[in-house]
């Protein structure tokens, strides 16, 4: 007996128990159909069935294995064709029903080609969003594109930065948000109870923009560089981190530090100019009433108001000499503004302060002083304008010495370790009014020596308030 396919003689089993052969009426291992039906589907030829499989045809083990592999391949092919048709059919149905999320999800996983095309389109969209942000007019006001200075640092907000990033680059923003959040914290951007994800998303976006435009999008890397420098990070390590895009180089970091510290005293200068302006704008007529009784007032006015000698002149020598005597006692260590040393060697303080009685700028006495109604109304209106402005309480300046030892890498006779001596200063606005005080000592105004020590130390209530602040 031989195989119906290859005419190979069947091998007899041991002990005359039969032959190694398979009937066409048997089912293949890959399915429930008989081998005869599978051959009919493959070859298209009709095979006459037999009532008894012993009377039918047989295949050798090699041909039986090949037939099984062929049937397995045909089954997988039919299943793949049917599945592929179903995926595209579902995608088209979802698009017609405007279920775009379902359609895009199906398109992404339909085939390898569709997945690759989807990734390419996404990449092009993100690249276009970043390019438009860098070259648009609104990009100049983007928080991550601004310069590193004190006003920008005070006004910087991650909420504003992420809001503008979402408006300009929606696909990039949502991709970063999806990578760092879960569905539970997607809206709040808070992981757990305390972890705020806004700085993390903003930092990654800033580094992406910095890699695209290193000069324009250098706000956050420059800020990191300054913080690394303030923390004492070595020059070599800063250079290594600069290659990753996290921070700037060492030289750029020093330039940024100099840029920030260039206007470090702006707040102090503004405070000083405000106090000087309030003194200059004070009504001089009101101060003149107290000048005779308070010689120190003349010194304060001369020191704070420029060209005061053109507006207020000392009385002539015909007045009482007691005023000059009192003024001499207060001029031991202080020289008023506009009063210099005499050219003559034998000139005294009295000769400096005395002026000619014929001087046209001498202010007449109270008896000869007469003002018109218009002058009085002008003085009163000016006084009301000054009172409307809140007087600055003044400030106190504090100084401290700061030193830093600089170690030379390769010391020699010319290059040695040096110690830098620097000064650290700051001002604090006074809580107690120290400017625009009354010059008259009345019942409400007391001298410091007459105050109780209780007023000189903070109370328990004040200490609690300081502790809370």
Which residue ranges make up each domain of the chain? 1-107, 121-261, 288-388, 395-468
pLDDT band, residue 353 (cuts 50/70/90): very low
- pLDDT for 221 equals 94
Handedness of CA 178, 180, 183, 189 (dihedral sign): negative
* CA count, 13 A, side-chain hemisphere, 110: 21
pLDDT band, residue 76 (cuts 50/70/90): confident
∠ CA 213-216-222, rounded to 5°: 100
Report pLDDT digits (tens) over 2-53.
Answer: 787 787 888 888 887 788 888 877 787 776 677 777 777 777 666 666 666 6
**Which residue has better confidence, 201 or 360?**
201
- pLDDT for 9 equals 84
Place of tokens 């006015």: 301
- pLDDT for 127 equals 94
Mean pLDDT of 117-128: 94
Mean pLDDT of 66-84: 74
Mean pLDDT of 264-286: 74
* Most confident option among 217-231, 272-286, 418-432: 217-231
The per-residue pLDDT of the chain, averaged, comes to: 75
* Most confident option among 5-9, 206-210, 275-279, 439-443: 206-210
- pLDDT for 83 equals 57
Helix (H/G/I), strand (E/B), else coil: 23: strand
- pLDDT for 294 equals 58
Mean pLDDT of 390-403: 83
**Which residue has better confidence, 119 or 424?**
119
Cβ atoms of 21 and 3 within 8 Å: the answer is yes
**Which residue has better confidence, 4 or 153?**
153
Residue 347, pLDDT > 60, answer: no
């Amino acid at each position: 007996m031989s195989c119906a396919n290859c005419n190979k003689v069947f091998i007899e089993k041991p002990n005359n128990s039969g032959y190694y052969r398979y009937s066409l009426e048997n089912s293949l291992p890959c399915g429930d159909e008989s081998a005869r039906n599978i051959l009919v589907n493959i070859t298209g030829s009709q095979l006459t069935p037999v009532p008894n499989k012993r009377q039918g045809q047989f295949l050798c083990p090699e041909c039986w294995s090949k037939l099984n592999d062929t049937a397995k391949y045909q089954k997988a092919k039919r299943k793949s064709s049917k599945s592929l048709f179903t995926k595209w059919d579902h995608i088209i149905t979802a698009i017609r029903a405007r279920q775009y999320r379902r359609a895009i999800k199906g398109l992404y996983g339909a085939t390898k080609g569709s997945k690759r095309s989807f990734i390419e389109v996404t990449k092009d969209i993100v690249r276009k969003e970043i390019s438009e942000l860098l070259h648009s007019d609104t990009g100049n006001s983007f928080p991550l594109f601004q310069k590193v200075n004190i006003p920008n640092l005070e006004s910087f907000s991650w909420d504003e930065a992420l809001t503008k990033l979402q408006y300009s680059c929606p696909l990039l923003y949502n991709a970063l948000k999806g990578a760092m959040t879960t569905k539970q914290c997607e809206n709040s951007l808070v992981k757990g109870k305390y972890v705020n994800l806004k700085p993390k998303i903003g930092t990654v976006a800033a580094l992406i923009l910095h890699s695209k435009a290193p000069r324009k999008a250098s706000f956050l890397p420059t800020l990191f560089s300054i913080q690394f420098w303030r923390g004492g990070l070595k020059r070599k390590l800063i250079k290594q981190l600069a290659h990753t895009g996290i921070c700037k180089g060492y030289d750029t970091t020093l330039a940024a530090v100099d840029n920030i510290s260039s206007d470090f005293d702006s707040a102090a200068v503004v405070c000083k100019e405000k106090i000087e302006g309030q003194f200059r704008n004070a009504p001089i007529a009101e101060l003149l009433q107290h000048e005779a009784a308070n010689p120190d007032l003349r010194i304060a006015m001369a020191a704070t108001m420029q060209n005061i000698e053109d507006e207020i002149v000392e009385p002539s020598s015909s007045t009482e000499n007691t005023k000059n005597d009192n003024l001499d006692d207060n001029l031991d260590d202080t020289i008023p503004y506009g009063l210099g040393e005499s050219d003559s060697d034998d000139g005294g303080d009295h000769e400096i302060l005395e002026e000619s009685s014929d001087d046209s700028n001498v202010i007449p006495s109270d008896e000869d002083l007469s003002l018109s109604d218009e002058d009085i109304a002008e003085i009163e209106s000016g006084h009301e304008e000054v009172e409307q402005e809140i007087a600055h309480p003044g400030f106190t300046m504090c100084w401290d010495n700061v030193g830093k030892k600089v170690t030379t890498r390769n010391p020699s006779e010319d290059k040695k370790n040096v110690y830098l001596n620097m000064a650290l200063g700051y001002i604090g606005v006074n809580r107690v009014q120290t400017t625009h005080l009354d010059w008259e000592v009345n019942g409400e105004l007391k001298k410091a020596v007459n105050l109780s020590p209780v007023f000189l130390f903070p109370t328990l209530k004040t200490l609690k308030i300081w502790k809370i602040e």
